[in-house]
Amino acid sequence: MNHYAFRVYRGSYNNPRFAGTVSAESMGKAVKTIMTQNKITVLETPMLGQSKFDFMLDGQKVGILIYANPEDYIHG
Protein backbone atom coordinates (compact mmCIF):
# COMPACT_ATOMS: atom_id res chain seq x y z
CA MET A 1 0.00 0.00 0.00
CA ASN A 2 1.43 3.39 -1.02
CA HIS A 3 0.67 6.73 0.62
CA TYR A 4 -0.01 9.81 -1.49
CA ALA A 5 -0.51 13.46 -0.66
CA PHE A 6 -2.94 15.30 -2.90
CA ARG A 7 -4.28 18.74 -3.64
CA VAL A 8 -7.54 19.60 -5.36
CA TYR A 9 -7.21 23.03 -6.94
CA ARG A 10 -9.26 25.43 -9.02
CA GLY A 11 -7.75 27.51 -11.80
CA SER A 12 -4.09 27.24 -10.85
CA TYR A 13 -1.91 25.03 -8.66
CA ASN A 14 -1.62 27.91 -6.18
CA ASN A 15 -5.38 28.03 -5.61
CA PRO A 16 -6.08 24.89 -3.55
CA ARG A 17 -9.65 24.03 -2.58
CA PHE A 18 -8.41 21.39 -0.13
CA ALA A 19 -5.62 18.86 0.36
CA GLY A 20 -5.02 15.62 2.20
CA THR A 21 -3.51 12.16 2.10
CA VAL A 22 -4.75 8.84 0.79
CA SER A 23 -3.46 5.26 0.87
CA ALA A 24 -3.96 3.08 -2.20
CA GLU A 25 -2.34 0.28 -4.19
CA SER A 26 -1.68 2.53 -7.19
CA MET A 27 -1.89 6.15 -8.24
CA GLY A 28 -4.93 5.36 -10.39
CA LYS A 29 -6.75 3.87 -7.42
CA ALA A 30 -5.73 6.89 -5.35
CA VAL A 31 -7.41 9.20 -7.88
CA LYS A 32 -10.61 7.12 -7.78
CA THR A 33 -10.58 7.22 -3.97
CA ILE A 34 -10.09 11.01 -3.94
CA MET A 35 -12.93 11.43 -6.43
CA THR A 36 -15.29 9.19 -4.45
CA GLN A 37 -14.52 10.69 -1.04
CA ASN A 38 -14.88 14.27 -2.28
CA LYS A 39 -17.75 13.80 -4.77
CA ILE A 40 -15.65 14.86 -7.77
CA THR A 41 -17.13 13.89 -11.13
CA VAL A 42 -15.92 13.88 -14.72
CA LEU A 43 -17.79 16.04 -17.22
CA GLU A 44 -17.58 15.16 -20.91
CA THR A 45 -18.13 18.04 -23.33
CA PRO A 46 -18.38 17.31 -27.08
CA MET A 47 -16.22 19.69 -29.12
CA LEU A 48 -15.85 19.58 -32.91
CA GLY A 49 -16.37 15.83 -33.17
CA GLN A 50 -14.16 15.04 -30.17
CA SER A 51 -14.69 15.12 -26.44
CA LYS A 52 -13.17 17.30 -23.72
CA PHE A 53 -13.05 15.95 -20.17
CA ASP A 54 -12.87 17.95 -16.93
CA PHE A 55 -12.95 17.13 -13.22
CA MET A 56 -15.92 18.91 -11.63
CA LEU A 57 -16.63 19.77 -7.98
CA ASP A 58 -19.76 21.69 -7.00
CA GLY A 59 -20.22 22.85 -10.60
CA GLN A 60 -16.66 24.20 -10.88
CA LYS A 61 -13.76 22.82 -12.91
CA VAL A 62 -10.94 21.54 -10.67
CA GLY A 63 -7.65 19.70 -11.04
CA ILE A 64 -6.11 16.97 -8.91
CA LEU A 65 -2.40 16.87 -8.06
CA ILE A 66 -0.96 13.74 -6.48
CA TYR A 67 2.46 13.62 -4.86
CA ALA A 68 4.24 10.26 -4.66
CA ASN A 69 6.71 9.47 -1.88
CA PRO A 70 10.09 8.34 -3.27
CA GLU A 71 10.52 5.81 -0.47
CA ASP A 72 7.50 3.87 -1.77
CA TYR A 73 9.48 3.10 -4.95
CA ILE A 74 12.93 2.30 -3.57
CA HIS A 75 12.67 -1.41 -4.38
CA GLY A 76 11.35 -1.10 -7.92
Q: What is the pLDDT of residue 40?
A: 97
Domain that holds residue 35: 2-73
10: closest CA among 68, 67, 57, 66? 57
Residue 3 per-residue DSSP state: E
Asked whether the predicted pLDDT for residue 1 surpasses 90, the reply is no
Q: Tally the domains of the chain.
A: 1
pTM: 0.85
* pLDDT digit string, tens, across residues 5-58: 999 999 888 889 999 999 999 999 999 999 999 999 999 999 899 999 999 999
State how far the alpha carbon of 52 is from the alpha carbons of 15, 22, 27, 42, 47, in Å: 22, 27, 22, 10, 7
